[in-house]
Structure 1
Amino acid sequence: MDSLQKAKVTYTPFIFSAKKKDAAMAKFNKELSEEERYTILAINRLDSKNKWRADTLAVPDKMDKTLMSYTPFPIQVEKLKEVKKIVIFSYPIQAYSLYENGKLIKWGPTSMGKKSAQTHRGLMFANWKKELAISTVDSDWKLPYNVNVHNTLGIGWHQYDLPGFPASHSCLRLLMDDAKYLYNWVDTWIVNKDGRTLKANGTPVIVYGDYDWGGKKPWKKLIDDPHSNDISMEELDKVIEPYLHKILEAQKKREQVLGEGINIQN
């Protein structure tokens, strides 16, 4: 795929009728490879554990496990050219994107906060991370590759169930492969030796927009219009603009702190 152009993809429906769901699921499992199933489920904001929830899946005419052929995010964002790293979560389409100096390097599905426990919107920064965290809501919930982005509210991203709709208790759920990738890619905060004084922020994170609660799931609209989930450059610019100065100031501060060679505690 050209670095500045999105691939042309069309989608067809794979229907799981209520009366023949077992047969449809057997066909889905038998006729498609593991990689193809992974790709289709990811497009539909599902993981393998929750595939039983499917009623109609949007199936692309070409398979790309990286998902980059299906990106709803702009490939290049000029406004971010000076920002080394940033994570952007879109509530409307339940998806995240990673940019490096304005270039989209990865995107994927997420399940954000449910209507009664919505994820905090706005600019945040990656704080600390833990390879396996335990939920403060329920100690039985194990959260692999957890990255905290709001310390006082306890919000972070991590691997957990993707059921095809916003279902979390305000955190940002990811597929296991994505959670591991982001865990290794993200820069966390820099704190003093006492662990109490913040010296510099980590990677900036923006969460924006609203979900169409009770409406048709956005990814199902791809079947009729493959561009229905696309986020325009103008829309993303409006999301970024209010925070850009603060992001660049935080980046500059981080570079200064790193240049001083202080002790880093992640």
Structure 2
Amino acid sequence: MTKYTLTKTFFYTLFFALFIISCKKEEVNNTDNQITTASEAIAQSESHPDSIKTDQAKESSPPVIQENGFYNALAIPKDKKKRDSVYAAFSKKYSEKERYAILALNRLDSKSKWNSDTLIVPAKIDTTLMAYSPFPLQLDVLNEVKKFVIFSYPIQAYAVYSNGVLVKWGPTSMGKKTAQTDRGLMFANWKKKLAISTVKSEWKLPYNFNIHNTHGIGWHQYDLPGYPASHSCLRLLMKDAIWLYSYADTWILNPGGATTKAKGTPVMVFGDYPWGKRKPWRKLLDDPNANNISVEEMTKIVQPHVEKMISEQSNREKVADSIKAAKASEAILKESEPAEN
């Protein structure tokens, strides 16, 4: 081999070695950049108690449901186009009733559906919501109470019991931190299909049922934004407001309407909301039983008031029977009156 050939071979070998080293450095740099970007994204998500950990390095791709067992997470992007794309896929994948149930689990109505950066989505959809009830299905302590409605501040949800059996539950938005809903035992008073708010006359309150006449507290349909937002009232989805409007009993007033002769359905509000912390229903992603209220806990909350509830229930039945009997007697008297010539 000539000297010229050896020299040429040496330079080709050197050039190839330098090229390989350069490529390796570039690959390492790119990997480091990706790790840094992902780390920053996780740090940003952890800085907000309501965010899930997402890889922002892949933000150009539409977010997808993250498989997580009983509940999954659907990340909602801030960018409008991406958000619209997610909603289109969401609407295509789930029926109207299924979407309604998913939003209800996130304490949202359709108007406020994107008031969240993440939706919890059950792996299997039960449109009645009963499969996801955080309330016990049976409460023996309420066996003698025919109708009972209870609102939980901690999980922003209500439950309805008939003779100790859970017949319905759903989402609510209760009083915000500066205008919290009164706690304790109350009773349903009067109801009105369309009430006007005493805070702002522009606010219309469909299917309003008053439970605290002095403080003007009641349950009714209004926006569910995914957190406690009301001026002390108990906001409900329209379907729930209509259902409760028909279910609960009103008070019975004495002649003249100045005093109460009998109280309506017992209603209780209990607990405290974790202000400034992660929304309670987001914990379902880690533990599907995170929001569950045990029979023992519910019994402890309700039991001190059962005697009062049964007493008022008995009184109302007597008053209602008395009024019914009086009306029947009045009808008989009218029928027995001689007809006018």
TM-score range, shorter chain: over 0.9
Determine which of 169, 187, 191 is the counterpart of 2:231.
169
What is the 5 A alignment of 1:39-188?
Answer: 39-188=101-250
1:11 partnered with 2:78: no
Q: How far did residue 242 of structure 1 move?
A: 1.8
CA deviations over 1:187-214 (Å, ceiling 9, x no partner): 0001123111211000000000000001
The structure showing larger relative contact order (alpha-carbon pairs under 8 Å, at least 6 residues apart) is 1
Query: Comparing both structures, which one devotes a greater share of its residues to helix?
Result: 2
Q: How far did residue 243 of structure 1 move?
A: 1.1
Q: Tell me the residue number matched to 1:216.
A: 278
Gaps of 5+ in 2: 1-68, 328-341
Q: How far did residue 64 of structure 1 move?
A: 1.7
Q: Tell me the residue number matched to 1:195.
A: 257
* Percent identical: 63
Q: Tell me the residue number matched to 1:3.
A: none
Q: Distance in 1 between matches of 2:203 and 2:323?
A: 37
TM-score normalised over the length of structure 2: 0.73
Q: Tell me the residue number matched to 1:236.
A: 298
- 2:75 counterpart letter in structure 1: I
Q: How far did residue 17 of structure 1 move?
A: 2.6
CA deviations over 1:163-189 (Å, ceiling 9, x no partner): 000000000000000000000011000
- 1:65 counterpart letter in structure 2: T
Q: How far did residue 256 of structure 1 move?
A: 1.4
CA deviations over 1:130-151 (Å, ceiling 9, x no partner): 0000000001000000000000
Q: How far did residue 51 of structure 1 move?
A: 0.5
- 2:307 counterpart letter in structure 1: H
Q: Tell me the residue number matched to 2:339.
A: none
Q: How far did residue 29 of structure 1 move?
A: 2.5
State whether residues 112 and 224 of structure 2, in contact with CA within 8 Å, keep that contact through their aligned partners in structure 1.
Answer: yes
CA RMSD of aligned residues (A): 1.4
> Highest CA radius of gyration, 1 or 2?
2
TM-score normalised over the length of structure 1: 0.93
CA deviations over 1:215-262 (Å, ceiling 9, x no partner): 100111111110000000111011102211111111111111122126
Aligned residues between the structures: 256
Gaps of 5+ in 1: 1-8
1:23 partnered with 2:85: yes
- 1:182 counterpart letter in structure 2: L
- 1:184 counterpart letter in structure 2: S
